[in-house]
Amino acid sequence: MQEILLRAFARRDQLRVAEKFGSWLWSIAANEIRQFFRRDHGIVSLDEFPNWDAHDTSASPLMRFEEVERRTWVQACIGVLRQRDQAVIRLRDIDGMSVRETAGALGISQAATKSIHFRARKRLVQVIRARRSGRISGCSKEKVNKEN
């Protein structure tokens, strides 16, 4: 745009009729644009970057949405379990703590931690299956506790 205005200013003496200013300026602009695309702008080939991967490896918006929805759904199912079961599943499966760390956090033995974790996961599977089959719609604790 600046080059077009500079070119018009430099050639202002070539304007013969003042009423034709718009078309005169338009023709200068069109010629500048044509010249711009004729020039060599140093095209770079992608072959010069052999290690560059042009593929987008990030998750699609749909995949991200489904992941958030799945996490929310599982969190709702975990929320139906007893407090002790919720705690052991969160510590072991979500936070990634070891059996020793989980036992220390809960103040119980490692054997008890393993047993509680195993049973809590079994109860979580029951909740998930019940919710999928429609027996539990809102994952209320009363319905789940009746089934356990």
Whether 140 and 90 share a structural domain = yes
pLDDT at residue number 120? 96
What's the CATH code of the domain at 101? 1.10.10.10
- Polymer length in residues for the chain: 148
Residue in 76, 74, 92 with CA at minimum distance from that of residue 84: 92
Is 52 a domain residue?
A: no
Alpha carbon distance 85, 106 (integer Å)? 11
Name the pLDDT band for 146 (thresholds 50, 70, 90). Answer: very low
pLDDT at residue number 54? 67
Question: Which tens digits make up the pLDDT trace of 97-137?
Answer: 999 999 999 999 999 999 999 999 999 999 999 988 877 65
Give the distance between the most distant pair of CA atoms in the chain: 99
Tell me: pLDDT of 73 over 60.
yes
Query: What ranges in the chain are assigned the alpha helix state H?
Result: 2-10, 21-38, 61-80, 83-89, 99-106, 110-133, 141-147
Per the structure, the complete domain to which residue 15 belongs is given by 2-38
Residue in 29, 51, 31, 47 with CA at minimum distance from that of residue 39: 31
pLDDT at residue number 101? 96
| Counted domains in the chain | 2
Task: Indicate the pTM of the whole model.
Answer: 0.53
